[in-house]
């Protein structure tokens, strides 16, 4: 469950600009501010079921966007490469070739 929350937080971060204002409100209350479905329902004066359906639909949309655009996946790959580059530079007993290899991999991600 925690893993799903983390994933949803990331997907929301990458794709929130493609959601409607209402979808954004529900998702941000539920995933970022940890409101319960009941609390969101009360605040918006709608049924708990309506909030639940909206959030489920939005989650599916976010997964669909990720399937198509892979922004989260590429972000993770890029982060790994960047960490390795930092280590190489800080350790300083790297060859420039290693670093150039990493930079080339980074380039391929775009």
Interface residue list for a copy of itself (CB under 8 A): 15, 17-18, 65, 68-69, 71, 75, 78-79, 82, 85-86, 89-90, 92, 96, 99-100, 103, 106-107, 110
Considering the complex, state which of residue 47 and residue 76 has its C-beta at the smaller distance from a copy of itself. 76
Minimum distance of a copy of itself from residue 52's CB (angstroms): 26
Considering the complex, state which of residue 35 and residue 75 has its C-beta at the smaller distance from a copy of itself. 75
Taking Cα atoms as reference points, which of 4, 19, 95 lies closest to residue 57?
A: 19
3-state secondary structure of 95: coil
Separation in Å, CA 46 to CA 19, 20, 36: 19, 17, 14
Minimum distance of a copy of itself from residue 27's CB (angstroms): 16
- Alpha helix ranges (H) inside 1-110: 2-15, 21-27, 37-44, 48-69, 71-91, 96-108
Minimum distance of a copy of itself from residue 85's CB (angstroms): 6
Considering the complex, state which of residue 52 and residue 72 has its C-beta at the smaller distance from a copy of itself. 72
* Residue with tokens 């070739």, as numbered in its chain: 97
Considering the complex, state which of residue 32 and residue 82 has its C-beta at the smaller distance from a copy of itself. 82
**Cα 44 to chain centroid, rounded:** 26
């Amino acid at each position: 469950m925690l893993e799903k929350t983390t994933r949803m937080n990331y997907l929301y971060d990458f794709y929130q600009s493609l959601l409607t204002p209402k979808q954004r409100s529900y998702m941000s209350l539920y995933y970022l501010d940890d409101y319960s479905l009941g609390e969101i329902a009360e605040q918006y004066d709608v049924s708990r079921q309506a909030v639940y359906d909206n959030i489920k639909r939005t989650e599916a949309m976010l997964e669909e966007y990720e399937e198509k655009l892979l922004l989260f996946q590429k972000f993770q790959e890029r982060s790994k490469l960047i960490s390795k580059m930092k280590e190489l530079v800080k350790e300083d007993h790297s060859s420039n070739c290693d670093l150039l290899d990493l930079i080339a991999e980074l380039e391929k991600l775009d």
